[in-house]
Amino acid sequence: MSIQAGAEGRRDGSERFVVEAFGLTKRFGERVAVDDVDLQVPRGSAFGYLGPNGAGKTTLIRMLLGLTHANAGTMRLLGRPVPAERAAALARVGAIVEEPRFHAHLTGRENLTVIAAAREPEAHGRIDGALARVGLSHRADERVKRYSLGMRQRLGVARSLLADPELLILDEPTNGLDPAGIHEFRAMIRGFVAEGRTVLLSSHLLDEVEKICDAVAIVDRGRVVMQGSIAELARGSQQTILIATSDEERALAILAEHRAVASAAAEADGVRVRLRTDVEAEPVADDIGRRLVLAGLAIRRFEPARASLEQRFLEITSRLEEAA
């Protein structure tokens, strides 16, 4: 879809970030749920807010949307300060917070009518388009209590489209979806980004964030511990190379002398080489291969392992646990 006409002027606005939070803090009694968070979500991207359950992801989203107040810090949504200009900012924000909730006794269309009534007058005219976008046109006049969880998630997306949003905030949107539904959901989110919208996706699923998002912030125990593009974050993690040669002992000796190698150990399927985190993996891998060949070793396997976001995430969070 492109719910786009009339929106060009807004979408290519000069604001580089659609969400900006500085020093954002939320306490529940003694417990700090969100701890001095700085966050910048670039316009026109799919941005993952990644962290384990209980890390404070939903609380941060609730503060951004004005569902609960912050104890400290400042926020801007679409360039507008929140909560001072909350109404104007939220007029172009669509959101699903936790599981989408509806009046079960109303139909899907009626539920959208209720929300459209709270939005600008044009929102009512977007109902049919939004329902079609999520594939619910044929079930729109059934009561929501008959909807499956997946259908409710889709209806939640349709509801968030009534704002013709520049920013979509989706909190764990694939919870409860089957694999096919998850696949479709990913495609839909990428479609939103292709239209120039920004998607802020909160999730505890690394795989989901890695597949959907362009950039990510990793949050743990209320704090953003790392923020950047997926490639940048993965680059910071330890790279490994699995090497099988004709002489493992000589290979280990050569590797031990290499300055970029952090460790090398023989395993069942070859020698596992771990590189230092401060080196560029590709030229180092080239150099290692060259040295082994020059030493007269036959190389049967040479497999650099791409560091995944999952590895990086586990490294970061385990480091934090050790520090705690």
Partner 1 sequence: MNTTTITVELPRTRSRAPWRPRLVSAEFLKLRKRRGLVLSTLALTVLPMIVGYTVLLILHATDPARHGAAGGLENFSGSMEILWQLAVVAAILVGSTLGAGDLGSGVFRELVVTGRSRLALFAARVPAGLGLVFAVAGTGFVITATASTVLAGSLDAPSAGVLVGSAAWLGLVTGLALVLALGVSSALGSRGTTIGIVLGWQLVAMPLLLQFGVLGSLRKGLLGAATGRLEPAALLGGGAIVPMSLVAALAVIAAWTVAPLAAGAWRTCRRDA
- 84 lines the binding site for partner 1 (CB under 8 A): no
Helices 149-161 and 179-194 meet at what angle, rounded to 10? Answer: 10
Neighbouring C-beta atoms of residue 269, cutoff 10 Å: 11
- 121 lines the binding site for partner 1 (CB under 8 A): yes
Question: Minimal CA–CA distance to 12: which of 20, 2, 4?
Answer: 4
Task: Identify which range of 4-12, 254-262, 274-282, 307-315 contacts partner 1 by CB under 8 A.
Answer: 4-12
Q: Which is nearer to partner 1, 52 or 73 (CB)?
A: 73
At residue 251, φ and ψ (nearest 5 deg) are -60, -45
- 11 lines the binding site for partner 1 (CB under 8 A): no
Q: Are 219 and 56 in contact (CB under 8 A)?
A: yes
- 105 lines the binding site for partner 1 (CB under 8 A): yes
Q: Which of positions 122-181 make contact with partner 1 (CB under 8 A)?
A: 122, 124-126, 129, 132-136, 154, 157, 159, 163-164, 181
- 114 lines the binding site for partner 1 (CB under 8 A): yes
Q: Which is nearer to partner 1, 4 or 318 (CB)?
A: 4
Least separation in angstroms between CB 5 and partner 1: 5
Neighbouring C-beta atoms of residue 73, cutoff 10 Å: 16
- 236 lines the binding site for partner 1 (CB under 8 A): no
Among 11, 27, 86, 250, binds partner 1 (CB under 8 A): 86
Please state, in angstroms and rounded to a whole number, the distance separating the CA atoms of residues 247 and 239: 23
- 226 lines the binding site for partner 1 (CB under 8 A): no
Task: Identify which range of 37-45, 84-92, 231-239, 270-278 contacts partner 1 by CB under 8 A.
Answer: 84-92
- 101 lines the binding site for partner 1 (CB under 8 A): yes
Please state, in angstroms and rounded to a whole number, the distance separating the CA atoms of residues 172 and 285: 38
The DSSP symbol for 220 reads: E
At residue 271, φ and ψ (nearest 5 deg) are -100, 125
Question: CB under 8 Å to 271, separation ≥6 — which residues?
Answer: 242, 243, 244, 245, 248, 251, 252, 255, 264, 265
Q: Residue count at the site for partner 1 (CB under 8 A)?
A: 60
Q: Site residues (CB under 8 A) for partner 1?
A: 1-7, 62, 65-68, 86-91, 93, 95, 97, 100-106, 110-111, 113-122, 124-126, 129, 132-136, 154, 157, 159, 163-164, 181, 184-185, 187-188, 191
